[in-house]
């Protein structure tokens, strides 16, 4: 009986103590007609050895293609120490730290995390995580609607330069509360928020303006100007940032005259492997004045009976387990273990270490884009400065190019044509610090072949390789 320690003798003694004949008798309050049968559709149990074989085969099956794909999930080096520590049983198998005295490990770590995130973003406070970057933005939007007392509209300005999946997730989550996301277009030259589209909404009632940095095109927005514009128009400024980019960029808390009000994003670049998209974690920071609108766990430092410092969950009156239907959110379980990894990751990398990584990503992406733009008819449509992703326009359909590259075991980037058809054959490429010069050259030479094949024999476009 996998994972069940009971011996026959134990079972008999326990049944006797309870005063029943059989284990089945323990279910006697359940109406007979509800009892289910053998569940034959579920496979029989297997020993660990066989499950291992199965999973090894499955994992191998997917190959490990060369990754130039970002679009919200980035292939970074993670120091070996990070996960060797994170998977220690004491972190891995603890529950949410409800009993503070028996959970100082997790609690102190989370306090350290909050400290690091506020340092990185320049905000006053941080919570202890949300599910992922996209749902964190949804929570930030809800927070802004609650927090912006002046606005009654429940409307939010969202640029099209924001990740399309983030826009969809936010919409799915906030629409049932009647909140409306209003999109603003981008400048087709710079790839940044189009200031004239923005200006059209000046003076209207919006709870907040969402400001991505970098934006989905990899381009850096003029965050000072956008933040000040939002504030001037009675809106809160919600920053959606890449935490690695924050290590070199002006932190959200310092944008414009008075800084962003809320800063959220995807924590994955801080120690989470790509891992099919999760678990990652959403981070959420804000100005002190908004702290009571925050969703999720928050850890506070306090003292014990002897005056010794200690850590505990605090401001729980915001949360569902205390406030129930009046809570700031329904979130309960968050992404604690990912935060554990992120905290250790940030502690090991340090502020300057992250800068080196960020700068290396930037340099590699520039190198990649230049290398690819040397190919005939490959060009970079936007002029705005980028962080570690860049849009490229190809001489063939993005879908076809990417499929052909994948057949060569190269993940060539993100196909922009569904979300931004006006960009035509555009893809979004990314080269993190992990990509070597040889790998960049590999991409170039494969793309060259793909383009050549396309030009010469268009019928071969549907890859049969």
Partner 1 sequence: MIYEQSRSGRQATAQTNFEMPALPDIPQELLREQPAGLPEVSEMQAVRHYTRLSQKNFSIDTHFYPLGSCTMKYNPRACNSLASLPGFLSRHPLAPDTHSQGFMACMHELQEILKHVTGMHAVSLSPAAGAQGEFAGVAMIRAYHDARGDDARTEILVPDAAHGTNPASAVMCGYKAREIPTGQDGDIDLEALKEVLGPQTAGIMLTNPSTVGVFERRIKEIAGLVHDAGGLLYYDGANLNAILGKVRPGDMGFDVIHMNLHKTFSTPHGGGGPGAGPVGVSQRLEPYLPVPMVDFDGSDYVWLTEKERSDTIGRLSAFAGNAGVLLRAYVYARLLGREGMHRVAEFSSLNANYLLKRLMEAGFDAAYPERRASHEFILTLKKQAKELGVNTMDFAKRMLDYGVHAPTTYFPLLVPECLLVEPTETEAKEDLDDFVEIMKTIKQEAETQPELVKQAPHTMPVRRLDDVRAARELDLAWKGQE
**For residues 100 and 461, which CB has a smaller minimum distance to partner 1 in the complex?**
100
56 or 377: CB nearest partner 1: 56
Bridge partner list, 386 = 219
Name which position in 12, 16, 52, 196 contacts a copy of itself (CB under 8 A).
Answer: 52
Near a copy of itself by CB under 8 A: residue from 12, 84, 177, 460 = 84
Tokens 């020993």 correspond to what residue?
47
| Residues in 135-194 that interact with partner 1 by CB under 8 A | 135, 163, 165-166, 168-169, 171-173, 176-178
Site stretch for a copy of itself (CB under 8 A), options 77-85, 107-115, 280-288, 395-403: 77-85
Q: Parallel, antiparallel, or unpaired for β 208-213 and 236-241? A: parallel
From the list partner 1, ligand PLP, a copy of itself, none, partner contacted by residue 434 (C-beta under 5 to 8 A by kind)? a copy of itself
From candidates 12, 16, 87, 196, binder to a copy of itself by CB under 8 A: 87
Cis, bond preceding 350 (omega within 30 deg of 0)? no
Which ranges of 148-194 does DSSP label H, i.e. alpha helix? 164-174
User: Could you say whether residue 88 binds a copy of itself (CB under 8 A)?
Assistant: yes
Rounded to a whole number of angstroms, the minimum distance from the CB of residue 333 to ligand PLP is 3
User: What's the first-to-final CA gap in the chain, in angstroms?
Assistant: 47
Nearer to partner 1, 235 or 427 (CB): 427
Q: Is-contact 387 402, C-beta < 8 A?
A: no
Restricted to residues 258-297, the positions that interact with partner 1 (CB under 8 A) are 266, 273-279, 281, 288, 291, 297
75 binds partner 1 (CB under 8 A): yes
| Residue (409 or 436) nearer to a copy of itself, CB | 436
Concatenating the DSSP letter of every residue in 197-217 gives HHHTTTTS--SEEEEEES-TT
At a CB cut-off of 8 Å and minimum separation 6, what does 455 contact?
A: 395
CB count within 10 Å of CB 34 equals 7
Give the count of beta carbons closer than 10 Å to the beta carbon of residue 308.
7
How far is residue 145's CA from residue 152's CA, in Å, rounded to a whole number? 8
Q: Does 106 bind partner 1 (CB under 8 A)?
A: yes
Nearby residues of 425 by Cβ (< 8 Å), 6 or more positions away: 393, 394, 395, 396, 397, 398, 401, 417
- Kindly determine how many residues on this chain lie close enough to bind partner 1 according to the rule CB under 8 A: 210
Residues between 397 and 436 that touch a copy of itself (CB under 8 A): 433-434, 436
Q: Is 47 helix (H, G, I), strand (E, B) or coil?
A: coil
Question: 290, 344, 392, 423: which one contacts partner 1 (CB under 8 A)?
Answer: 344
Q: Which spans of this chain sit near a copy of itself (rule: CB under 8 A)?
A: 48-49, 52-53, 77, 79-80, 84, 87-88, 433-434, 436
């Amino acid at each position: 009986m996998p994972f069940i320690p009971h011996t026959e003798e134990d079972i008999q003694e326990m049944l006797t103590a309870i005063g029943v004949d059989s284990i089945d008798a323990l279910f006697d309050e359940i109406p007979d007609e509800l009892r289910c049968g053998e569940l034959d559709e579920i496979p029989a149990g297997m020993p660990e050895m066989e499950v291992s074989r199965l999973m090894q085969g499955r994992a191998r099956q997917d190959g490990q293609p060369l990754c130039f794909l970002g679009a919200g999930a980035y292939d970074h080096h993670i120091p070996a120490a990070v996960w060797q520590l994170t998977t220690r049983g004491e972190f891995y198998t603890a529950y949410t730290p409800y009993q503070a005295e028996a959970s100082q490990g997790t609690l102190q770590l989370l306090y350290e995390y909050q400290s690091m995130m506020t340092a990185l973003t320049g905000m006053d406070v941080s919570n202890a995580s949300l599910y992922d970057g996209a749902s964190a933005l949804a929570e930030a939007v809800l927070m802004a609607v609650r927090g912006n007392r002046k606005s009654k509209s429940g409307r939010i300005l969202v640029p099209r330069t924001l990740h399309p999946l983030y826009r969809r997730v936010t919409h799915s989550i906030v629409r049932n509360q009647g909140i409306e996301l209003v999109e603003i277009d981008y400048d087709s030259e710079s790839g940044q928020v189009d200031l004239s589209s923005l200006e059209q909404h000046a003076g209207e009632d919006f709870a907040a303006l969402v400001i991505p940095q970098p934006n989905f095109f990899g381009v850096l927005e003029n965050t000072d100007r956008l933040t000040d514009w939002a504030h001037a128009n009675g809106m809160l400024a919600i920053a959606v940032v890449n935490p690695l980019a924050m290590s070199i960029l002006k932190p959200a808390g310092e944008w414009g005259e008075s800084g962003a009000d809320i800063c959220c994003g995807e924590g994955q670049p801080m120690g989470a492997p790509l891992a099919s998209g999760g678990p990652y974690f959403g981070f959420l920071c804000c100005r002190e004045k908004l702290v009571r609108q925050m969703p999720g766990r928050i850890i506070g430092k306090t003292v014990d009976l002897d005056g010794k410092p200690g850590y505990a969950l605090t401001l729980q009156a915001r949360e569902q387990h205390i406030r129930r239907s009046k809570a700031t959110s329904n979130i309960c379980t968050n992404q604690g273990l990912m935060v554990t990894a992120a905290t250790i990751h940030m502690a090991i990398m340090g502020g300057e270490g992250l800068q080196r990584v960020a700068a290396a990503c930037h340099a590699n992406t520039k190198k990649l884009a230049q290398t690819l733009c040397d190919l005939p008819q490959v060009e970079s449509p936007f002029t705005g400065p980028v962080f570690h992703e860049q849009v490229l326009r190809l001489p063939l359909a993005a879908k076809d190019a990417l499929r052909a590259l994948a057949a060569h075991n190269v993940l060539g980037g993100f196909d922009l044509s569904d979300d931004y058809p006006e960009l035509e054959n555009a893809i979004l490429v990314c080269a993190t610090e992990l990509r070597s010069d040889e790998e960049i050259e590999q991409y170039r030479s494969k793309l060259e072949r793909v383009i050549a094949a396309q030009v010469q024999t268009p019928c071969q476009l549907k890859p049969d390789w």
